[in-house]
Structure 1
Amino acid sequence: MISSSLVPIRRRLALLACHLVVALVALVVIGGATRVMEAGLACPDWPLCYGSFLPGRQMNVQVFLEWFHRLDAFVVGMALVVQLAVAWWWRRQLPGWFLPLSALLLVLVLAQGGLGALTVLQLLPSGVVTAHLALALTLLALVSGSSQLLLAPIELRAFELKASSDQVSHGSRFEAAPLWWRCLAALSLLAVVSQCLLGGRMATSWAAQRCLEAGQSCQWLHWHRSAATPVAICVLGFVAIALLAGGWARRQWPLLLGLAALVSTQITLGVLTLRLGLSQPAVTVAHQLVASLLVALLAALLCRRQTCLSPGPLPVVLDPSILEPAHG
């Protein structure tokens, strides 16, 4: 039996997760823009900025980037607190995995705030900044994946309500994607995240600038460029295999083609960034934006579920208030 209150609460939580994905992508991109614009220490104190919530006299582009980055992180944290409260209140009508995941996400965002404080108080150490990025990408992947798992029952309900009369003897159910799909999606996600962290380590140590300007610390740039090709082959291979497999996998072609487009765009932006000698911050920030979108999309594809038909009657929702007594 499908509870009538289950679909609305899951729909709202799925909508919240989708908004959180957008906020987390913005958080990663603004963090990257803060580094590119050398604004990581624009606010010398933490958690306030120049001793106030909204600095007025000191406000400029760099201060605004750092201040807005913290504001976005605060909004994400508050949203996760609300999500945890809702998950606990509706715990009996939500999947068993959702409450522990909500608690884990809140713990991760608190740790993320702690790492953010260390980046300021310890004057932007490269290792801490890279860990800050790693935790942000982890949050992004978890929230994006959970949004797909929350949306599955909504799609199931819509499918059942629209079932044609010749299918009334069959029910529909959602199953995990094929094993090969999950393995390839997980491998692609791991490869993209690793490449992001390698690029983050290169950026936070200013290795690319030193290599292009003075020929120093070029190993980081070499590793990042060398890893780009196998990562792209891994993701594009996943897309090609899914399209050739047919069936449910091929029906995901809009997302798969979007994934291929993001990879192509990322390669172009990476080449353009080096050709311009890192002189155009907008290109560098766009490179980071596409990277975060790749992580979010791959996590969503990893957790995507397929619709299957199984023998058995459709589940019926019974409302006691509309039942009438029957007399013999």
Structure 2
Amino acid sequence: MTSPSRSHARYRKLVFLTWFLTLDLIMFGAFVRLTDSGLGCPDWPGCYGHLSPLGASAHIERALEAMPYGPVSVGKAWIEMVHRYIGMILGMLIIGITVMAWRHRRILGQTPRLATVILVAVCVQGAFGAWTVTHRLMPLVVTTHLVLGMGLLALMTWLAAREKAHAPVPADAARWRPWMILGLGILFVQLALGGWVSTNYAALACMDFPTCHGQWLPPMDFHGGYSLVRGLGHLPSGEMISQEALTAIHWTHRNFAIAVFALLGVLGWRLRAVPGLAGPARLLLALLALQLLTGLTTIFFQWPLLIAVLHNGGAAGLVLVGVTMLLRLSQAGKPSRIAP
């Protein structure tokens, strides 16, 4: 018979493994999007009805002959399918976490509700992954898929952070909790704006900085840029999306970043010496600096793949650090829970 401490240790290992895989999947999802591999296999869940691109080689060859520079190629098919395989593994691990959370809820000393919410969230995320393909990379669906992925990472981070010991946070630090909630809120707005930039291929709509096309307020079409229900590269009317619309998308994301940097930067600076928060606060400041560097590099070097993936990874890092700090602020004044 398994001892309570061993059951808890296994649960903790599974949670941290799943959290790490969630972060990896978000990074790989960015790679899928940035390499234009989202339609590498234009059906779902298989690849032309096969389990892998190996069985679909004839279909891929015909697609390549019809469109040599189209969305389908052997490399893109493998990139897309590996992303799906990792997603399926993640789903199975989360099922395992949920089962253990219910089965050992007395041993763990925690309600299994969060694990159950995570299970529902990964199912919804899987559905949006399928709709991303079936709706032919519709920007609204792809952006929602990205934001939900970050939300799943936030939930997994909360679950994992509960299992990690840390120095007790002083009770008076709790006054920063509402500000951290606000900071995470505007961060997710920025994530949605950034996803909208990426899914509309507007990253290079402004090639200079800090101005855009040499102007602080360049000609912009916000109505067209933020028309939500439309196909990729088109307006609801069916016309091609204009440069002014792409500029509006890019300009909004760039300038809203000021609010994110200001609030999270102040929080990181003020909390950098607070026991139990010093490490995450310093990491928050470092990640903000990384985001600024990768964002500028993306513009000046015309969106190099590695830098663009790092920019997405930095955003994920801000989510996990912000959630960790919020959890610790919520526990301010309480003794640190030392996991076995």
TM-score in same-fold range (> 0.5): yes
Q: Tell me the residue number matched to 1:102.
A: 115
Residues in 1 aligned to 2:98 and 2:20: alpha-carbon distance in whole angstroms: 19
- d(CA) in 2 for partners of 1:50 and 1:197? 31
Aligned mate of 2:15, from 11, 14, 17 = 17
Alignment of 1:54-133 (within 5 A): 54-56=52-54, 57=57, 60-97=74-111, 99-133=112-146
In structure 2, relative to structure 1, the CA distance for the partners of 1:37 and 1:309 (3 Å cut) is closer
2:34 is matched with which residue?
36
The residue number in structure 1 matching 2:251 is 222
Which shifted more, 69-78 or 177-186?
A: 177-186
RMSD, aligned CA = 2.7
Q: CA deviation at 1:54?
A: 2.3
Query: Which has the larger strand fraction?
Result: 1
**Are positions 1:295 and 2:324 aligned together?**
no
Equivalent residues of 1:118, 1:128 under 8 A apart: yes
Does the aligned pair in 2 maintain the 1:239–1:256 contact within 8 Å? Answer: yes
Call closer, same or farther: CA 1:307–1:8 in 2, change over 3 Å: farther
Sequence identity of aligned pairs in percent? Answer: 28
Q: Give the unaligned 5+ runs of structure 1.
A: 157-172, 311-328
Note the 1:185-264 alignment, pairs <5 A.
Answer: 185-209=180-204, 215-217=243-245, 218-243=247-272, 246=273, 249-264=274-289
Give me the TM-score of the superposition, normalised by structure 1. Answer: 0.78
C-alpha contact 2:146 2:195 (8 A) present in aligned 1:
yes
Aligned equivalents of 2:179, 2:13: Cα separation in 1 = 27
Q: Once the 2 structures are TM-superposed, how far is the Cα of residue 26 of structure 1 from its aligned partner?
A: 1.6
Give the Å deviation of 1:198.
0.6
1:265 is aligned to 2:290? yes
Deviation at 1:216, TM superposition (A): 2.7
Runs of 5+ in structure 2 lacking a partner?
A: 61-72, 208-212, 214-241
Q: Distance in 2 between matches of 1:10 and 1:174?
A: 24
1:216 and 1:289 map into 2 onto residues whose CA distance is 28
> Comparing both structures, which one devotes a greater share of its residues to helix?
1
Moved more, 122-131 or 88-97: 88-97
Tell me, in whole angstroms, the C-alpha distance in 2 between the residues paired with 1:273 and 1:227.
17
Q: How many pairs are equivalent? A: 283
Give TM-score scaled by structure 2 length: 0.76
Matched residue SS, 1:208? coil
Q: 2:93 & 2:170 partners in 1: Cα distance? A: 29
Go from structure 1 to structure 2 and tell me whether the alpha carbon gap of 1:30 and 1:90 turns closer, same or farther (over 3 Å shift): same
Alignment match, 1:27: 25
The structure that has the greater radius of gyration is 1
